[in-house]
Amino acid sequence: MAQFTNQAQLTYNNSVTNSNVAVGEILEVLSATKTAVRDVYGQNDSVAYVVSIVNSGTVPFTGVTVTDNLGEYAFGGGTRVPLTYVADTVRYYNNGVLQTTPSVTEGPPLTISNLTIPAGGNATIIYEAETNQYAPLGTDGSIVNQVTVSGAGISTITATDTVTALQEPMLTITKSVSPVPVTENGVLTYTFLIQNTGNTAAGAADLAAVTDTFDPLLSGLSVTFNGASWAETTNYNYSAITGQFSTVPGQITVPAATYTQDATTGNWVVTPGVSTLVVSGTV
């Protein structure tokens, strides 16, 4: 419901007098909500949105346009847009019945036009967007996204939704071997590089563990983690008969990544947290 005021002015014989202030209200028959299917996002992640428009009036609205700013925010005297519309994902329903796909301009901003909101009914628009290089990823990262509903006879309606950056570690592992080739009865070294691109450290409670089966078998194992010596059974287990190696769950920890936004481009740059496991033994 929107309130408006109005005041008249009367002039006569070089005199001016004002009327009282009349106050009125416009009963808005359209309302809109916007909701993310999942309220968190990660790197290069997909976010599905549902926009619902309800018409409580007795006359349908036609030629309605929905505009999504895709999370646009101010940056360096300009703007950056952290979401990219995923092509061909718009689905449009009237009273729950799927309609022909409306006109879509991918933008930014994303524009969906030529919609009809039935009298005493509702329209639902569903679509997906992907996080891009401008999406903040730190523990305080969020994307505030707004849609605007406009058209003939409509007082502009807005609806917003906020999604926040996923708070968890994201680990990857790479393995290298040296020397290549190795001589018989020589020492072979495996190096495991564990990287965390998430905004949260992987701690003991995450129970991270590395398992491997060494072939050829190794004897006289020496194991270090981030340069510190590890002890068998306390930190890892190894069978010289089968070659099976495993770290004790929770012994592998990896610091969180750090994130910096390029002052010129606005791109978020991820510097992974890193831990290194080194296993050496005689072939």
Residues 79 and 73: beta-carbon distance below 8 Å: yes
d(CA 140, CA 254): 20
CA proximity to 282, closest of 188, 179, 158: 188
CA proximity to 48, closest of 169, 167, 163, 142: 163
Residues 53 and 62: beta-carbon distance below 8 Å: no
Give mean pLDDT, residues 38-52. 96
- Stated as kind and residue range, the H or E segment containing 86 is none
Query: 70 pLDDT band (50/70/90 cuts)?
Result: very high
The whole-number pLDDT of residue 1 equals 46
User: Around Cβ 168, how many Cβ atoms within 10 Å?
Assistant: 15
Mind listing the pLDDT tens digit for each residue in 116-134?
999 999 999 999 999 999 9
Mind listing the pLDDT tens digit for each residue in 200-222?
999 999 999 999 999 999 999 99
Give mean pLDDT, residues 87-107. 97
**Residue 195 scores a pLDDT above 90:** yes
The whole-number pLDDT of residue 29 equals 85
Q: Which two tokens stand for residue 47?
A: 């976010």
Residues 65 and 115: beta-carbon distance below 8 Å: yes
Residues 188 and 66: beta-carbon distance below 8 Å: no
Q: Which class is domain 29-165?
A: mainly beta
Give mean pLDDT, residues 142-155. 94
User: Around Cβ 94, how many Cβ atoms within 10 Å?
Assistant: 16
Residues 168 and 200: beta-carbon distance below 8 Å: yes
113 φ, ψ to 5°? -125, 175
The single residue listed with the structure tokens 């901003």 is 109
Mind listing the pLDDT tens digit for each residue in 171-187?
999 999 999 888 888 99
Burial of 11 (0-12, 13-18, 19+ CB in 10 A): exposed
**Residue 24 scores a pLDDT above 80:** no
User: Around Cβ 128, how many Cβ atoms within 10 Å?
Assistant: 18
- Stated as kind and residue range, the H or E segment containing 142 is strand 142-150
Residues 275 and 256: beta-carbon distance below 8 Å: no
**Residue 53 scores a pLDDT above 90:** yes
**Residue 92 scores a pLDDT above 70:** yes
